[in-house]
Amino acid sequence: MTGILGLYMFDERWRVGSFGRYGLLALQHRGEETAGLVTLGERFESVRGFGTVDEVLSDSRVRKLGGHLCLGQVSPYKCAPEDVAPLMVEGRWRVALILDGKITDIEGYRWNPELSYERNVVKAFSEDLSRYDNPIDAVKGFFEKCRGGFSFITLDGEGNMVAGRDPLGVKPLTLGKMGFDGGIVSSETCVMDTIGERTPVSPAEDVEPGKVMVFTPLSARMETVATCPRRAYCSFEYVYLARPDSYVNGIPIYRVRKRIGELLAEENPVDADVVIGVPATAIPFAMAYSNATGIPIEKGFEQTGRRVRSAMKPTQFERLKGVQLKLNVIAEAVRGKRVILIDDSVVRGNTMANIVYLMKEKGAKEVHVRIGSPHIVSHCPFGTEVPPEDELIGRHLSEDKIAEVVGADSFHYLSLEGLVKAIGLPKSQLCLGCFTGEYPEVVG
Amino acid sequence: MKVLLVGCASREMVIAEAFKRSVHEPRLYCIGPFVNPGIHRICKDTGGKYFRGSITDPNVVADHAELISADMVFVGPEEPNFRGIPDEVERRGIACVGAKRAVAEIEMSKASMRDLQWKYRIPGRLWYKKFKTFEEAIPYLKEYAESVALKPARQAGGKGVKVIEDFQVYLQEEKRELKYKHAKTIVERYMSRYGDMEYKLLIEERVWGPEYTLQCFTDGRCVKPMPVVQDNKHAFESDLGPETGGMGSISCGMNLRWGVDSDEAILTMEEVEKSAEIVWKMIDAIQRETGERYHGVVAGQMMLTSTWGPTIIEMYSRFGDPEGVNVLPIMKSDIVEICEAIVDERLSKVKVEFEEKATVVKSVAPEGYPEKRELSKGHPVWLDEEAARREGVGVYWASVDLREDGSIVSTGSRVVEFLGVADDVPTASEIAERGVGYVKLLDGWRLFHRSDIGSPTSLRRRMELAELARDIYKYKERKGILGKRMIWMPGKGLIEVG
């Protein structure tokens, strides 16, 4: 996954660079490896590179950008320098492109294994451009040929911005506004809170799967390009990916995370003295668990250095470094106590083993681990960072065995049914592939 | 009886239709710079006539009124009021419904309107500052202005207003920059064509809440309110896009209910009454100030704010457009009788009644409107009025011109407005929506409208917004600090405004 953002100001006098920078800052949790911003006024201008938003898109750099339109992306993937988004597609028109999720197939295009994923997409798109009379139709036409689970935003040299989602709606995309001045399209609604208008009623709505939001210098309209009876909303957005202050597919993330905590308490009750959540994602789980059981919640950890999403780091070294710096156990909170330790997910189990070990070392009598999602068994074809299947602890070991491996007194996942219940949508509308291995058939 | 109607937009077409419905069977005449095909037909049907001519030159209008020996002149838009059309017509001994130059000041000068409101301490007054030049405004913009509305000090056809929220310090530089640019544009562009106003620029505090329009008839002795209407100012769906004159509007009962039998409403009846009281106080104040009587239509373009509850954003010296299209078609009372009562100043004795119905108006405009109007001009319009009417849709021609050869072309704004009437707003919205399929531009240029006006989602949002604003202003009311703004300035102490 990545975090994507498009800003369209109707008044050409705006300079939009800072809006893009702070909007991307609100999406930083969706990726810290690359950040990039392309603006368009009289011409395309860009800043992109490796690192966080603060590192790549400093105030002084973005303030130099002209233009009243922009696209921006943060990504958790390491890639070649030329593949740092936004991507530029050259052809009959110049089109800047950003993508969340993954295109798995493009009708009429043969993937070149010599090229990166990004280069393939750019090549396929640029070859396709010449078939259309105008850039808006070209974007719509190209993405109709794409299969997979993805959201996209494009900005062409004629000043049109097109944003859309695949017909299954795997990845989220929301639409917000800035008063009479402009529109915002982004992965999550927290962007609207950061740079949008200060309106007390939720200013965002979804771009529905199979639809595109088209902005032109003269109009803004939602168009339907494909219809599909089913949905396959990524369930991992609710568990981990999205920010708790965002709404995804109209559902408040915070509500789902609280519900998960309550269900964890219901599904595998255990007698204990304190509940501790692993920061930051699992805190709402732990709060709800505590509220439901009456077992007090404690702050179990203090972090060193700035906040990072350790699970999204590409190497084991960086993940462990992240965890060890982020999760210094507060001895006073655990000494002599039976602890219920809650985390959002377990991928390889290494970081969990590290945490349980640190907790016992600081004097916890018992550690009962509860995980706010089912066991991960499968690699995501739509780009969510799940490692190869032979690395997944949940695919190979039972809960009891995992408890022993990580050194916990008990270990339980949330059931699949529990997750579905917590999200509150019918199972048929969700993609639960990373927990079941079954992915929706991608359609065009 | 002969009536001369001044103006040629959809607002004037509903006025014409109301005259046509009158039991007094007036002969309707109309004068306007363009020929509205709908009004043109009504004039013909009633035995009257349509004149193409200036409506901002008092002599031209008065001459036409004399030419047809009009018994009464009804002025539709605001600009004729500002140019003293009603004054000249009355001077020639012809009855006129329309705000005279002096009292139309409440719309014409946004600065005078605020001055008046503060002088007479009328509730719902926003904090403001007026400037004669851009340079004068610079220090103020630099030091104080945060979230503000920048307005031309004169009503400039609804153009030039910009609201800039400036509360995120990390975006302040860009927002300040735009405030300067826009303040300059107001003085140098929007106000340049008007030499009739000392002040050029108005800066007001920015407020939030649901907007609504309360239109009233007035004879200068009382106001008779009509059902409250809510306009949708954003050009595009989902409340996106630049500010327009209005892309459509809703009403249901006096207080913007969901349906006629529904308890859910955007406003409470108490808020409607308060709003009517505010509008009356404005009329009373301008009459005291000028010694002139207000005969005509007045409207408060209002907002339910967290600062004040009912708050004046602007005043209209006429019906709103499209808001007029919501109310006149469901008016049960006879417009001739109302007009006569206005002229004779006995309006309090006349009943002004409306059907208990939900109404939704949807405007259709050529692309280019509202910011690049040149692009929206001159397109030939095709409209199957009969077919739309058969589907139960009210059809009102707006900014178009019926040419000698029978063709109809767009003149740079909304071309037609469709009206749906039903027992609840979402149903009325669906009815109005049916009309949209019967209009197109013959040269293939794209038209746009908003299907979301009056939809359940949009209604729900506005009700939620009203509730949030209400919670806060009610709290202030309880504390006795309604309309007061208090700022603790470290080192200086407590500053109170209001």
The number of folded domains in chain B is 3
Query: CA-CA distance, A438 to A378, in Å (whole number)?
Result: 9
For residue A265, give both structure tokens: 């308490």
The DSSP string of B136-151 is HHHHHHHHT-SSEEEE
Q: Which DSSP state fits B445?
A: P
Task: Identify the pLDDT of residue A324.
Answer: 78
Domain extent for A119: 3-228
In a domain, A172, yes or no: yes
Task: Identify the pLDDT of residue A228.
Answer: 82
The answer, yes or no, to whether residue B145 has pLDDT greater than 80, is: no
- Do residues A272 and A398 share a domain? yes
Domain stops at, among A180, A203, A228: A228
Residues on chain A touching B448 (C-beta within 8 angstroms): 219, 221
In a domain, A311, yes or no: yes
Task: Identify the pLDDT of residue A304.
Answer: 86
Domain stops at, among A196, A228, A260: A228
Q: Kindly report the CATH number assigned to the domain that includes residue A65.
A: 3.60.20.10
Measure A22 CA to nearest chain B CA, in Å: 8
- Do residues A396 and A359 share a domain? yes
Tell me which of A411 and B166 has the higher pLDDT: A411
Task: Identify the pLDDT of residue A443.
Answer: 52
With an 8 Å Cβ cutoff, are B174 and A179 in contact?
no
With an 8 Å Cβ cutoff, are A199 and B465 in contact?
yes
Task: Identify the pLDDT of residue B28.
Answer: 98
- Do residues A296 and A344 share a domain? yes
List the single residue in A with minimal CA-CA distance to B466. Answer: A201
Query: CA-CA distance, A220 to B247, in Å (whole number)?
Result: 14
For residue B480, give both structure tokens: 């006795």
- Do residues A174 and A284 share a domain? no
Using a CB–CB cutoff of 8 Å, tell me whether A110 touches chain B. no
Query: CA-CA distance, B100 to B296, in Å (whole number)?
Result: 9
- Do residues B252 and B376 share a domain? yes
pLDDT tens column, B293-333:
999 999 999 999 999 999 999 999 999 999 999 999 999 99
Query: CA-CA distance, A291 to B385, in Å (whole number)?
Result: 63
Q: Which DSSP state fits A338?
A: E
Element (H, E) at A192: helix A190-195
In a domain, B107, yes or no: no
- Do residues B200 and B226 share a domain? no
- Do residues A96 and A158 share a domain? yes
- Do residues A189 and A251 share a domain? no
**Substitution target from A181, A185, A194 for chain B, most B beta carbons within 10 A:** A181
Domain stops at, among A203, A228, A253: A228
- Do residues B293 and B166 share a domain? no
Residues 6 or more apart from A317 whose CB is under 8 A from it?
none
Query: CA-CA distance, A434 to A235, in Å (whole number)?
Result: 9
In a domain, A156, yes or no: yes
The DSSP string of B304-356 is EETTTEEEEEEEESS--TTHHHHHGGGB-S-HHHHHHHHHHT-GGGS---B-S
Query: Torsion angle, CA of A140/A145/A146/A152, rounded to 10 degrees?
Result: 0
Nearest to B367 among A10, A181, A218 (CB): A218
Does A280 sit behind a cis peptide bond, omega within 30 degrees of 0 on the bond before it?
yes
For residue B315, give both structure tokens: 């005043």
With an 8 Å Cβ cutoff, are A19 and B234 in contact?
no
Query: CA-CA distance, B469 to B353, in Å (whole number)?
Result: 30
Q: What is the mean pLDDT of chain B?
A: 95
Task: Identify the pLDDT of residue A156.
Answer: 98
Residues on chain A touching B205 (C-beta within 8 angstroms): none
- Do residues B215 and B178 share a domain? no
In a domain, B423, yes or no: yes
Domain extent for B65: 2-101
With an 8 Å Cβ cutoff, are B465 and A200 in contact?
yes
- Do residues B185 and B278 share a domain? no
- Do residues A304 and A350 share a domain? yes
- Do residues B180 and B160 share a domain? yes
Q: What angle do CA B361, B365, B366 make, to 5 degrees?
A: 165
Using a CB–CB cutoff of 8 Å, tell me whether B372 touches chain A. yes
Measure B178 CA to nearest chain A CA, in Å: 7
- Do residues A287 and A391 share a domain? yes
- Do residues B97 and B219 share a domain? no
Across the strands, what pairs with B51? B31
In a domain, B110, yes or no: no
Task: Identify the pLDDT of residue A202.
Answer: 58
Query: CA-CA distance, A90 to A157, in Å (whole number)?
Result: 10
Residues on chain A touching B372 (C-beta within 8 angstroms): 217-218
Q: Kindly report the CATH number assigned to the domain that includes residue B62.
A: 3.40.50.20
List the single residue in A with minimal CA-CA distance to B242. Answer: A180
Q: Provide the CB-side half-sphere exposure for B397 (13 A, CA).
A: 26
Residues on chain A touching B186 (C-beta within 8 angstroms): none
Nearest to A198 among B167, B464, B468 (CB): B167
Q: Average pLDDT per run of 10 along chain A, which is 444 residues long?
A: 96 95 97 96 96 95 95 95 96 96 94 96 96 96 94 97 95 92 94 82 80 95 88 95 94 97 97 95 97 97 79 76 84 97 91 91 97 93 82 92 96 98 96 92 60
For residue B357, give both structure tokens: 């119905």
pLDDT tens column, B439-495:
999 999 999 999 999 999 999 999 999 999 999 999 999 999 999 888 888 888 998
Domain stops at, among B177, B205, B233: B205
pLDDT tens column, A108-149:
999 999 999 999 999 999 999 999 999 999 999 999 999 999
The number of folded domains in chain A is 2
In a domain, B429, yes or no: yes
- Do residues A74 and A147 share a domain? yes
- Do residues B170 and B319 share a domain? no
Lowest mean pLDDT: which of A299-308, B106-115, B268-277, B443-452? Answer: A299-308
What's the one-letter identity of residue A138?
A
Nearest to B465 among A15, A175, A201 (CB): A201
Please say whether the beta carbons of B448 and B371 come within 8 A: no
Query: CA-CA distance, B339 to B352, in Å (whole number)?
Result: 11
Query: CA-CA distance, B489 to B493, in Å (whole number)?
Result: 5
Task: Identify the pLDDT of residue A322.
Answer: 77
Using a CB–CB cutoff of 8 Å, tell me whether B127 touches chain A. no
What is the SS3 assignment for B173? helix
Please say whether the beta carbons of A13 and B181 come within 8 A: yes
What's the one-letter identity of residue B443?
D
- Do residues A27 and A156 share a domain? yes
Tell me which of B158 and A76 has the higher pLDDT: A76
For residue B16, give both structure tokens: 């014409």
Please say whether the beta carbons of B303 and B210 come within 8 A: yes
- Do residues B227 and B165 share a domain? no
Q: Which DSSP state fits B367?
A: B
For residue A73, give both structure tokens: 């992306």
- In the block, tokens 């178009």 appear at B400
Residues on chain B touching A222 (C-beta within 8 angstroms): 237-238
For residue A192, give both structure tokens: 């609207």
What is the SS3 assignment for B205? strand
Task: Identify the pLDDT of residue B184.
Answer: 94
- Do residues B223 and B197 share a domain? no
Domain stops at, among B154, B178, B205: B205
Instruction: Provide the percentage of residues in chain B whose pLDDT is more than 70.
Output: 100
- Do residues A53 and A201 share a domain? yes
Query: CA-CA distance, A195 to B163, in Å (whole number)?
Result: 15
Query: What is the interface size between A and B, counted as CB pairs within 8 Å?
Result: 81
Across the strands, what pairs with B5? B30, B74
Q: Kindly report the CATH number assigned to the domain that includes residue A249.
A: 3.40.50.2020
With an 8 Å Cβ cutoff, are B171 and A195 in contact?
yes
List the single residue in A with minimal CA-CA distance to B462. Answer: A201
Query: CA-CA distance, B45 to B13, in Å (whole number)?
Result: 13
Task: Identify the pLDDT of residue A444.
Answer: 43
The answer, yes or no, to whether residue B24 has pLDDT greater than 80, is: yes
In a domain, B474, yes or no: no
Q: Which DSSP state fits A427?
A: G
Helix, strand, coil distribution of chain A in percent, nearest 5: 35, 25, 40
Q: What angle do CA A382, A383, A385 make, to 5 degrees?
A: 135
Task: Identify the pLDDT of residue A442.
Answer: 65
Contacts 24+ apart (CB under 8 A), A289-293: A289/A261, A289/A262, A289/A264, A289/A265, A289/A340, A289/A342, A289/A370, A290/A261, A291/A261, A291/A262, A292/A261, A292/A262, A292/A265, A292/A266, A293/A265, A293/A269
The DSSP string of B179-198 is HHHHHHHIIIIITTT--S-S
- Do residues A256 and A153 share a domain? no
